[in-house]
Amino acid sequence: MKHIIEGKAYVLGDDIDTDQIIPAEHLVYSLSDPEEKKNYGKFALSGVPTENAGLPDGGKVFVSEGKHESEYSIIVGGKNFGCGSSREHAPACLQIAGIQAVVAESYARIFYRNSVDGGFLIPFETQSNLTNETKTGDELSIDVEKETFTNKTTGKTHTMKSLGEIIEIIRAGNIFEYARQSGLIQPSETLNSP
């Protein structure tokens, strides 16, 4: 786990659902094949209507044509981020595009859980809505241990809500590593293998 996450902000609004994060027509690609899964980075956030893409101005392309990685590293969102489907392709596509953390006022349950259990990105919750004071392209810095969010462009720092006990899973890497480290499943992980 990184202690400091730095990079450019990509700002979105409230209720960003999984169809906007990764439209259903793209859910056909393999998540196991390293080459094929790049398609998920290519189409990440492609369902967001243009006027809402990269606030406050909108019209900001998240992943440039022909690429699968974004120039942005941190998403700043409003309430109920990741609502809708249970598709794990949603946090996965953001990770493939290079997103390391989402900072939102609140999350839909399954997206939050998938982000943590799969180790795709860290979903931080903020005390207040930061989308009004963050612009797409602002340089951000997150201190994961201190749970602080700093906008280097504006100079403002906020303490985020505590990750609580899920920090254990984030530190371990994913739910499997967490379960092995805490003795819930066997370390070698060949539970059922012959």
Contact criterion met (CB below 8 Å) for 65 and 42 = no
For another protein, the closer CB: 84 or 98: 84
* Cα distance between residue 105 and residue 34, in whole Å: 32
* Cα distance between residue 11 and residue 165, in whole Å: 27
Contact criterion met (CB below 8 Å) for 40 and 31 = yes
Q: Does 17 bind another protein (CB under 8 A)?
A: yes
Angle at 147 between CA 146 and CA 153, to 5 degrees: 105
104 Cβ contact partners less than 8 Å away, ≥ 6 residues apart:
75, 76, 77, 78, 79, 81, 123, 124, 125, 126
* Cβ at position 170, least distance to another protein in Å: 13
For another protein, the closer CB: 105 or 138: 105
Q: Does 23 bind another protein (CB under 8 A)?
A: yes
Residue 131 corresponds to which tokens in the numbers above? 């989308």
* Cβ at position 152, least distance to another protein in Å: 30
For another protein, the closer CB: 18 or 151: 18
Q: Does 190 bind another protein (CB under 8 A)?
A: yes
Rule CB under 8 A: which of 137-176 touch another protein?
165, 174-176
Dmax over CA atoms of the chain, in Å, equals 58
Q: Does 192 bind another protein (CB under 8 A)?
A: yes
User: Residues binding another protein: what is the number (CB under 8 A)?
Assistant: 48
Q: Which residues of 59-72 are buried (b: 16+ CB within 10 A; e: fewer)?
A: ebebbeeeebebbb
Among 65, 128, 155, 191, binds another protein (CB under 8 A): 191
* Cβ at position 134, least distance to another protein in Å: 21
Which string of x and - marks every residue 56-95 that binds another protein (by CB under 8 A)? -----------------------xx--xxxxxxx-x----
* Cα distance between residue 148 and residue 112, in whole Å: 19
Binding site for another protein (CB under 8 A): 15, 17, 19-20, 23-25, 27-32, 47-49, 79-80, 83-89, 91, 106-110, 113-114, 117-118, 165, 174-176, 179, 184-185, 189-194
